[in-house]
Structure 1
Amino acid sequence: MRAGAVALLSAACTALLAAGAPASATATRTTVTGTAATGVPLPYRMADTGGGDQLITARAPGTSATTGTVSWWQRHHGRWRRAGSAPARFGSGGLTEGRTRVQGTSTTPTGLYGLPFGFGTGPAPAGTVLPYRRIGSDSWWCQDNASASYNRWVRPLPPDCAARESERLADYPEQYARALVIAFNYRHPVRGRGAGIFLHVNGEGATAGCVSVPAGAMARILAWVRPAARPHIAIGTADGPTALTRY
């Protein structure tokens, strides 16, 4: 076949493919604010988003990073759109695969997790419909591996949960002014993997394994989350084995 004919046939095939391309493929040719260079919003590029219509993503440049970005996404009529974004902080030990994390390493566990309830020393932001618990002087998060209440909110501290192995929530009025429980190691806790991983308000620096954001962003997230939308949070890195898109 002549070169001119080949070129003509190639152009015709390209036109036909473009006409039949799905919307997601077409979107890759358009740059969208807050998305990757491909123009495809992050949730579309993920292996799993939890099956709901709300997703929070917490992304770090790499596993040694202690800062990154939290974004929250809403799916409406099958299309994901970013609802907000804020700078984030991670554990002082960086990030690590959640399934093999070790307690006490100050690492933030990567993975996809539910968001069972919110809590705080302050009141829930206006518009909050997610279950929200006010912190009292006897509110604790049990982190004692020997306790039946391991990785649970307790009030008061049960006899089998040592105070030295747990966190008295009222001792952190700035960080826990408002927070969301991240259901890491929560449904069926594995002893020694870790407890008390939250999305909360920034403190002075990196966290002990949680994800933190500015106070204003935390308030907006709490007011935005809707249990009926089955919200989840995905934590990961930009690439590599713990890439956010793998979860």
Structure 2
Amino acid sequence: MPVFRPPAARRAPYPARLGIGTCATALLLLTGCGGTPGGTLGGAAEDASATRPAARIGAPASPGVGGPPGGARVRADPVPHAPRVHPREIPGLGPLTRAGIPAGARQALVVTGDDYDSSLSTAVLYTRDDPARGWRPVTGRWPARNALDGWTDRHEQGDLRSPVGVYGLTYAGGLLSPPRTAFPYDHSPLFTVDGEGFDGEPLEGSFDYVVAIDYNRAPGTTPLDRTRPLGEERGGGIWLHVDHGGPTQGCVSLPADRMRDLLTTLDPVKKPVIVMGDAEGLER
């Protein structure tokens, strides 16, 4: 009597050839979804799992085969990228003006004239303690005045205009004792002034506090120093000083309390500068 022999089990067929990227994905799915140690890649497993149909690449994983409950598709979370932070620039300044601010300067007093021919301005003090974050204002908008006839790109002696540009602030002085300040300060009776301004206002007290603007002068010297590297015809003695209630001859003036605030805040270690000019000129 013939002996009945069951047909031999067929080997599971090799999957179709995959591209390189898909092969890498298949390898990840087969090894990362609970493959048993006895299985061989592309061949039949040695246990009952060999009879399970091969998972389709990209299809939802079956429950109990290592996938998440419910057969949800596995998706890798995107790698987060930190947003790029651009340093803040001083508003109202164009590329040429910004380029004039030294890289080492960390304080900037920005004096913006209302118009090229106007003697009225505003001033804001900015600081750059963290270069990666850029400039930030540390004061509000202070009222200020400049020369009677406004501004000029080329200052000349007696033209009654204030010079446009970026200049260092390196020395202060005044008739009165200084407020608490880290700034070099020349306390001298030579800062006494009298007479009248252009509007008939008294000039007395205008030089109670001054900060020399390093236009056509030797930086790091008392405001009283009369060195003129560009020559006498290019003017000089351009200061920040106390407002006397009218236009200046070329200086920039601030109210007395603001001059005290400025002297208290200016720090020579931060290499302060003044950025000054009419609004349109500073936008260049």
Encode CA deviations 1:71-105: one digit per residue, 9 max, x unaligned. 111112112110113011010121111xx211011
Secondary structure of the residue aligned to 1:175 is: coil
What is the TM-score with the length of structure 2 in the denominator? Answer: 0.58
Q: Which runs of 5+ in 1 are unaligned?
A: 1-18, 28-39, 140-168
The whole-number CA distance in structure 1 between the counterparts of 2:272 and 2:174 is: 19
Q: Which 4+ runs in 1 deviate beyond 3 A?
A: 19-22
Per the TM alignment, residue 21 of structure 1 is displaced from its structure 2 partner at its CA by 7.1
Deviations, residues 96-154 of structure 1 (Å, cap 9, x unaligned): 11xx211011111111111121111111112x011001122xx3xxxxxxxxxxxxxxx
Please tell me whether the aligned partners of residues 123 and 144 of structure 2 are also in contact (alpha carbons under 8 angstroms): yes
- For 1:185, the aligned partner's letter is N
Instruction: State how far apart, in whole Å, the 1-side matches of 2:123 and 2:93 are.
Output: 17
- Cα gap change, 1:202/1:44 in structure 2, threshold over 3 Å: closer, same or farther? closer
Alignment partner of 1:171 is 2:225 = no
2:272 matches 1:234: no
Residue by residue, what CA displacement relative to the aligned partner does 1:176-223 show, whole Å, maximum 9, x if unpaired?
111100011113232201111001110020111100011111101111
Instruction: Verify the 8 A CA contact 1:198 1:210 in the aligned structure 2.
Output: yes
In structure 1, the partner of 2:100 is 48
In structure 1, which of residues 68, 77, 83 is the aligned counterpart of residue 121 of structure 2? Answer: 68
What does 1:143-182 align with in structure 2 at a 5 Å threshold?
A: 169-172=191-194, 173-182=204-213
Instruction: Report the Cα offset of residue 244 of structure 1.
Output: 1.7
Amino acid at match of 2:186: R
1:244 counterpart = 2:278: no
Q: 1:22/1:244 Cα in 2 relative to 1: closer, same or farther (>3 Å)?
A: farther
Aligned-partner Cα distance in 2 for 1:237–1:44: 11
Give me the whole-angstrom Cα distance separating, in 2, the residues matched to 1:117 and 1:94: 25
* Structure 2: stretches of 5+ with no match in the other structure: 1-80, 195-203, 219-228
2:169 paired residue number: 115
User: Is this contact kept in 1: 2:242–2:256, CA < 8 A?
Assistant: yes
How many angstroms apart in 2 are the aligned matches of 1:44 and 1:108?
Answer: 18
Q: CA RMSD in A?
A: 2.1
Counterpart Cα distance in 1 of 2:245 and 2:92: 30
Deviating more after overlay: 205-214 vs 40-49: 40-49
Aligned partners of 1:47 and 1:245 also within 8 Å? no
Residues 43, 80 of structure 1: 8 Å contact kept:
no
2:244 matches 1:203: yes
Residue correspondences, number: 178
- For the residue of structure 1 that corresponds to 2:207, the secondary structure is helix
Corresponding residue for residue 217 of structure 2: 186
The structure with the largest alpha-carbon Rg is 2
Report the CA distance shift for 1:88/1:228 in structure 2 as closer, same or farther (over 3 A).
same
| Paired amino acid for 2:138 | A
The residue number in structure 2 matching 1:94 is 150
Partner Cα distance (1:176, 1:197) in 2: 12
Decide whether the 8 Å contact of 2:93 with 2:282 is kept in 1: no
Find the aligned partners of 1:22 and 1:194 in 2 and give their Cα distance: 46
**As a proportion of its length, which structure holds more strand?**
1
SS of structure 2 residue aligned to 1:220: helix
% identical equivalent positions = 28
